[in-house]
Structure 1
């Protein structure tokens, strides 16, 4: 039995993709919401 490397494991790609999307999409969205809230207060 040969050991599976991270780049040979589909779960590795899924977790990496999820992390990438979270950083690129969810974080910017939260920043936008904070800015919008600030504008509404004014």
Structure 2
């Protein structure tokens, strides 16, 4: 699968991650912040 992280902002990645983690049969109560996304991105995507 090709990489597409550079096409989404940290805020967008956090929103999608939080949606998937709290819907679609999942039940996570914690959320991911845009700052955490930025910390997890590979250096070439920053």
Same fold, TM-score > 0.5, yes or no: no
Structure label with greater radius of gyration: 1
Larger relative helix fraction: 1
**TM-score, with normalisation over the residues of structure 1?**
0.38
**TM-score, with normalisation over the residues of structure 2?**
0.35
